[in-house]
Amino acid sequence: MYNAYKITDKVTQGKIALGSHVGFDSPFITEMIAGCGFDFIWIDGEHSAIDRKDIQNHLMACRAAGAAGIVRVPWNDPVIIKAVLDMGADGIVVPMVCSLEEARQAAAATHYPPYGIRGMGPRRAVNYGIWDKQDYVDNTDKYVLTIVQIEHIDVVKDLPEIAKLPGISGFVVGPNDFCMSMNTPERTYTVNDPEVREQFDKIGEALAGSGKLFGVSGACSESFVRDWVRRGVNYIAMNFDFNYIVSGAQGVLQTSRSVLEAMGKAY
68 contacts 39 by C-beta, under 8 angstroms: yes
Residues in CB range of 101: below 8 A, 6 or more apart: none
- Catalytic-labelled residue, pool 21, 47, 111, 152: 47
At 226, which helix (H) or strand (E)?
helix 222-230
Q: What is the CA radius of gyration of the chain?
A: 20
47 part of the active site:
yes
- Alpha carbon of 244 to those of 25, 193, 241, 250, 253: distances in Å? 15, 28, 6, 10, 14
Please tell me the distance from the alpha carbon of residue 100 to that of residue 167, in angstroms, as a whole number.
13
Which H or E run contains 203?
Answer: helix 194-207
Nearest to 7 by CA among 77, 92, 74: 92
Q: Any idea which residues carry the catalytic annotation?
A: 47
